Structure 1
Amino acid sequence: MGEFERATAVEPGERPGRYRAEIAEGWDIGGNANGGYLLAIAARALVAATGRPAPVSLTAHYLSPGQPGRLDIDTTVIREGRRFATATATLSAAGRPVLTALGTFGEPGGGPGNIEVASWVDGGPPDLPPPEDCAGDPDRAEAAAAVAIQQPPSFATRVEQRLHPEDIGFFRGEPTGEARIRGWFRLRNGEPMDAIALTCAIDAFPPTIFNLDLPVGWTPTLELTVHVRRRPAPGWLACAFTTRFVTDGLLEEDGEIWDSEGHLVAQGRQLALVPRPTGTVPSGL
């Protein structure tokens, strides 16, 4: 069992529909568990609850920061169909709700059996230098945010990222002026990427707005939606994230993840809060 699989594992609880998990140490950013990591825990519980192999669409609302320790996960299966099942999950710590999610589960990528399905793709993977030519410091991906809130980087040391050299101006204190982050992603030590790992990868990169003339710090996610289009082929994932609108203290971030064979494997959109000035870290949302 790989490190990510261990860190997102769930086990049956004391009654039907309830599961237990642990928010593992080291999957945080500035002391708060990464949002994609929490979503992956919810996805594992819902796979168990529905008996379906993978998330196809999953939306989470974040209610309070996640801290290392026990989670109780309450699930409800809303509908079971031939191809898909839909269910909800609420993650709670010491009676405090952390996240609530609604998802549809099944087998991403194609119809049942051998039925051929239509495809039309207007786009492609981001233009990235080879991973060895990208910024590869494992702490770099979250270092700027960690410094801003006076916490050591942690989540970025649990995964492998390589950031496009043109998109790391914020790290030098020289934001590019374009709300865009591109780079490569994979799990450490050869751990294979599956559909659940994609729910983590979609929230694994530095916020796009770090490259704007805005505060650099914790960017709390309010809502995150992931669409899993297919299971990824082995190898690095090519990722691209952009933001078009930052208004009234809120921003949206759109993401695409492409596998090593050039297939679109996941899309994401999240709504997040603009970081507060350095040194002001909210205790809740």
Structure 2
Amino acid sequence: MGSAPFRALCTLTDEADGTYGAVIDPIWTIGQKVHGGAMLAICAAAARRRLREGEDEAVMLQPIAVSVDYLGAPEPGAVTLAVNVRKRGRQICLVDVELSQNGRTAVRAAVTLGQLDLEPPLHQLDALTDMPAEPPADALRYDGGSPLGKIVNVAKGIELRLDPTAAKFVTGEVGEPVLQLWARPFAEDESDPDIALLFAMMVGDISPPVVFNRGMFGWAPTVQLTTYLQRVPAPGWLRVISSSKSIGAKVFDEDHLIIDSTGAVVVQSRQLALIGRSAR
């Protein structure tokens, strides 16, 4: 796996037909399914790579919004990324990316690239979270002996902790559809700002389904996910707050708010997902 597994995930190769190739290691899965946030990050990397092949100001832009539709679930292994630049501007570029495997499209992504904020926020809501900047000693680890650790293979490629005070489902209780986590890339991944920002976007899909806190278990596949990146995260742990505003009989929404070690909002995401099969 190496000491920079997320950089390896986002490393692209040139293919003969003008597409890019990538390899998804089996660690980037939840159970047997490739993690949706990992595929979003690969699509963002492909869009950025295509712009950097140019010679204008667009080569300095970063993915600030990625909207993905999941058409299928690829297996870990080799995938192909076809990239189409829709608009190339000095401040905003629009790029379409299709991730496929064995000729079958698995993800369709619309990527907006622009300029990231470099200064501290001019305004931000107070008290977005009372989470400490680093996970406390009692934070739950995704190790091989825990039920989550046996399923969330992604935790082998990142540092990940779950807040036990919010995760009521762990002890069999029912609570509000809100979960809190801490996530951090490995040191070599964190040291590269280009990789660190893609990691933060991936973390916009890192929480267990919040409906677990309502006693609704099972695989909850994402139908559509949109993620916004505002700035490169500062080094350190990312605080993750996931929540749902509406849970239906068949679908639910889930929002992620990602805050870095300085307290600044780095990423926001929203997804529509299906209720776990065992909960229907």
TM normalised by structure 2 equals: 0.87
Distance, in Å, in 1 between the alignment partners of 2:126 and 2:34 is 32
Mind listing any 5+ residue stretches in structure 1 that lack a counterpart? Answer: 111-115, 281-285
Task: Output the aligned Cα RMSD.
Answer: 2.4
AA at the equivalent of 1:120: H
Aligned equivalent of 1:103, options 103, 111, 116:
111
Q: Does 1:136 align with 2:107?
A: no
Aligned equivalent of 1:15, options 1, 14, 17:
17
Distance, in Å, in 2 between the alignment partners of 1:118 and 1:127 is 18
Aligned equivalent of 1:194, options 193, 196, 211:
196
**Per-residue deviation, 1:106:** 2.6
Aligned equivalent of 1:209, options 203, 208, 211:
211
**Per-residue deviation, 1:118:** 8.1
**Per-residue deviation, 1:117:** 10
What is the correspondence of 1:1-285 to structure 2 with a 5 Å cutoff?
A: 2-16=4-18, 18-51=19-52, 52=59, 53-109=61-117, 119-129=122-132, 130-139=134-143, 143-144=147-148, 152-175=151-174, 177-189=175-187, 191-192=189-190, 194-214=196-216, 216-277=217-278
Distance, in Å, in 2 between the alignment partners of 1:191 and 1:70 is 21
Greater mean alpha carbon deviation, residues 183-192 or residues 56-65: 183-192
Q: Deviations over 1:65-99 (max 9, x none)?
A: 12112111101000011112110000000011110
Closer, same or farther in 2 for the Cα pair 1:165/1:20, shift >3 Å? same
Confirm or deny: 8 A CA contact 1:128 1:183 kept in the other structure: no
Mind listing any 5+ residue stretches in structure 2 that lack a counterpart? Answer: 53-58
Q: Deviations over 1:41-69 (max 9, x none)?
A: 11111111122442101100001112112
Distance, in Å, in 1 between the alignment partners of 2:212 and 2:121 is 38
Confirm or deny: 8 A CA contact 2:189 2:196 kept in the other structure: no
**Per-residue deviation, 1:164:** 1.6
**Per-residue deviation, 1:188:** 2.6
